[in-house]
């Protein structure tokens, strides 16, 4: 209202003028305009400045206001159109003035910076540039994340991983209990796999570090716990746990391509000497199969995976030396497949039959027999020129019985290797639910870890081979090694294959 207390009326071109309360006009405009802002206040202040007319001059002309109450008809369409046009003009004018004000403020700021730089005052640009370069260098080195996580993302909890990160004497025992290795060996493995496990920094959770990923994958294989339970111990989700196991498996296969191979140099001489002391000169290892028990596959014929003991399993063929190191592994076929069929399907058979498996100097045996090398197997394999198996039958000659006893003793290395392998990595000892597409790669990755721990001198606790059953009785664990029901015979046996075993038996009798 003006200073003299008279009400305002809106000035409109036309025959009629209607007096309106300023409160009604402003309130209506604010309600339809989406709220109060400083910009709208300025607009409507300008609007009233341009359009209000004192009432005294209007009363004399029209007599439309009586006793302080507005009388007459509502605004016509032309009047409302005129008011809208006036408001639009005012809005456009205010918009232009606001934009011009921002441009002037920016120009003043630029002139001020130019004046400071020319006069030598203000910021020192040299140290500032150095600081920017140092900041870029720190960001590039990954000293701290480039992005912060969103506030609504749940932070990860430590759990078992935080306990493993402690540095004290108790942690060494905790490491061996949870991961089957010392902290030093774990750090070596984590550093080797780190280039394969880097995660991209995003605006969500802080990415898992490589050592955290490796620790969970090892814990999964050691404990055999499900993803739902094991991931909670490491403060990660189930999907992250599945991805961690998959990535660590691929990283182990890429980082240690030659870890599963025949020994060379001094290590090879030690292995050959150990077998020679058992009565088997130029023997390179032992071969056998084990069953990895799994739940019934969802997308496959269950009968194919049902083994002789009516359990669902996957077959794995492994060759080990006297130091229990894995020299060759072939895994992936269903449990119903016979061990001899596994041998024919493996690359070991192809290399042996082509003469590429054993290329060392030959050893002389009785009867003028020469051998470049061979493996020891049970009666589930036939007698071949490169596989030596026990004599069959019940009535055996003393020489044959002696040979069988010593061959069984030497072949015990493969059983001890399976005991160490499955005793440490208990996921492959128990029946578990798994992805049949990634199980073979995971088993090979565990064989790589098996060799790493042997090379590092990590001891094995024999108590891991014993467990208490539901009835409270302590018994030895089932390693999945099925003894053959009867010896395997092949019509293609040659005299060289049979005479090799006889020459070894004769050599043992002469000692």
CB neighbours of 386 closer than 8 A, spacing ≥ 6? 352, 357, 358, 373, 374, 375
pLDDT for position 141: 61
- Helix or strand holding residue 85 (H, E): helix 77-119
Residue where the block lists tokens 């002389």? 364
Axis-axis angle for helices 22-33, 38-51 (nearest 10): 140
Q: Is 286 exposed, middle or buried (0-12, 13-18, 19+ CB in 10 A)?
A: buried
pLDDT for 186 equals 94
> What single string gives the DSSP state of each residue in 370-416?
EES-EEE--TTS---SSEE----SSS--HHHHHHHHHHHHHHHHHHH
What residues contact residue 179 under an 8 Å CB cut-off, 6+ apart? 164, 186, 215, 218, 219, 222
Task: Write the burial class of residue 40 (CB in 10 Å: 0-12 exposed, 13-18 middle, 19+ buried).
Answer: middle
CA–CA distance, 279 with 409 (Å, rounded to integer) = 10
CA atoms within 13 A on the CB side of 389: 24
Predicted confidence at residue 24, as pLDDT, reads 43
- The confidence score (pLDDT) of residue 45 equals 52
Exposure string over 402-428, b if 16+ CB within 10 A, otherwise e: ebbebbeebbebbbbbbbbbbbbbbbb
The rounded distance, in Å, linking the Cα atoms of 94 and 38 is: 12
**H-only helix segments in 288-359:** 339-345, 347-353
User: Which tokens belong to 100?
Assistant: 């011009």
Q: For residue 313, what are the contacts with CB-CB under 8 A and spacing of at least 6? A: 291, 292, 293, 294, 305, 307, 334, 335, 480
- Chain centroid, CA 399 distance in Å: 56
What is residue 313's predicted lDDT score, i.e. its pLDDT? 95
Check: CB of residue 288 under 8 Å from CB of residue 417. no
DSSP conformation letters of 223-275: H---HHHHHHHTT--HHHHHHHHHHHHHHHHHH-TTSSS---HHHHHHHHHHH
**Closest to 424 (Cα-Cα) out of 413, 416, 436:** 416
Q: Strand 387-388 relative to strand 374-376: parallel, antiparallel, unpaired?
A: parallel
Please tell me what DSSP assigns to residue 501: H
Q: What's 147's DSSP letter? A: S
Q: Are 291 and 418 a contacting pair, CB within 8 Å?
A: no
What are the beta bridge partners of residue 69?
Answer: 66
Look at residues 349, 465, 376 and name the one whose alpha carbon lies nearest to residue 418: 465
Mean pLDDT in runs of 10 for the chain (511 residues)? 41 40 42 44 49 43 43 66 80 82 82 61 58 64 53 54 69 85 94 92 78 94 88 84 95 96 89 93 95 90 89 96 96 92 94 88 87 93 92 86 94 96 95 92 97 95 89 90 74 72 90 73
DSSP-derived letter for residue 432 is B
What tokens were used for 308?
Answer: 């002789």
pLDDT (0 to 100) of residue 58: 41
Cα–Cα distance for residue pair 120/162, rounded to 1 Å: 54
Q: What pLDDT, on a 0 to 100 scale, did the predictor assign at position 479?
A: 93
* Both tokens assigned to 236: 């990660």
HSE, CB side, 13 Å, CA atoms: give it for residue 154: 6
Integer Cα distance of 165 and 170 in angstroms: 11
Inter-CA distances, 379 with 395, 399, 486, Å: 16, 18, 7
65 in Cβ contact with 26 (< 8 Å): no
């Amino acid at each position: 209202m003006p200073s003299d207390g008279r009400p305002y009326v809106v000035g409109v071109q036309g025959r009629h003028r209607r007096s309106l309360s300023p409160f009604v006009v402003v309130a209506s405009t604010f309600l339809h305009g989406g709220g109060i802002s400083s910009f709208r206040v300025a607009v409507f202040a300008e609007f009233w400045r341009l359009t209000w007319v004192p009432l005294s001059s209007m009363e004399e002309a029209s007599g439309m206001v009586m006793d302080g109450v507005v009388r007459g008809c509502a605004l016509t369409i032309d009047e409302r159109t005129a008011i809208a046009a006036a408001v639009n003009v005012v809005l456009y004018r205010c918009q232009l003035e606001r934009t011009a004000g921002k441009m002037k403020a920016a120009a003043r700021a630029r002139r001020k910076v130019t004046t400071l730089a020319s006069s030598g005052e203000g910021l020192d640009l040299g140290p500032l540039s150095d600081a920017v370069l140092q900041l870029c260098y720190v960001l590039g080195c990954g000293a701290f994340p480039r992005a912060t996580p969103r506030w609504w993302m749940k932070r990860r909890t430590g759990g078992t991983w935080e306990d493993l990160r402690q540095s004290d004497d108790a942690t060494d025992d905790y490491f061996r209990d949870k991961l089957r290795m010392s902290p030093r060996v774990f750090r070596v493995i984590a550093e080797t796999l780190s280039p394969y496990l880097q995660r991209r920094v995003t605006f969500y959770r802080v990415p898992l570090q490589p050592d955290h990923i490796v620790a969970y994958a090892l814990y999964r294989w050691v404990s055999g716990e499900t993803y739902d339970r094991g991931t909670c111990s490491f403060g990660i989700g189930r999907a992250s746990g599945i991805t961690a196991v998959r990535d660590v498996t691929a990283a182990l296969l890429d980082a240690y391509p030659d870890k599963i191979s025949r020994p060379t140099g001094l290590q090879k001489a030690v292995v050959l000497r150990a077998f020679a002391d058992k009565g088997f000169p130029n023997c390179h290892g032992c071969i056998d199969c084990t069953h990895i028990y799994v739940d019934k596959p969802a997308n496959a014929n269950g009968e194919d995976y049902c083994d002789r003991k009516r359990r669902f399993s996957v077959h794995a063929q492994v060759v080990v030396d006297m130091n229990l190191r894995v020299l060759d592994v072939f895994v992936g076929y269903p449990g119903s497949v016979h061990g001899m069929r596994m041998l024919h399907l493996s690359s070991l058979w192809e290399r042996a039959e082509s003469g590429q498996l054993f290329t060392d100097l030959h050893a002389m045996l009785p009867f003028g027999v020469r051998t470049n090398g061979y493996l020891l197997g049970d009666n589930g394999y036939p007698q071949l020129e490169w596989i030596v198996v026990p004599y069959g039958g019940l009535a055996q000659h003393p020489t044959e019985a002696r040979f069988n006893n010593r061959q069984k003793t030497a072949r015990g290395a493969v059983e001890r290797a399976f005991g160490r392998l499955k005793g440490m990595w208990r996921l492959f000892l128990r029946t578990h639910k798994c992805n049949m597409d990634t199980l073979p790669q995971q088993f090979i990755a565990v064989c790589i870890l098996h060799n790493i721990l042997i090379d590092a001198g990590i001891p094995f606790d024999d108590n891991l081979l014993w467990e208490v059953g539901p009835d409270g009785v302590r018994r030895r664990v089932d390693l999945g090694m099925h003894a053959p029901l009867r010896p395997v015979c092949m019509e293609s046996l040659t005299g060289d294959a049979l005479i090799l075993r006889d020459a070894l038996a004769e050599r043992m009798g002469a000692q």
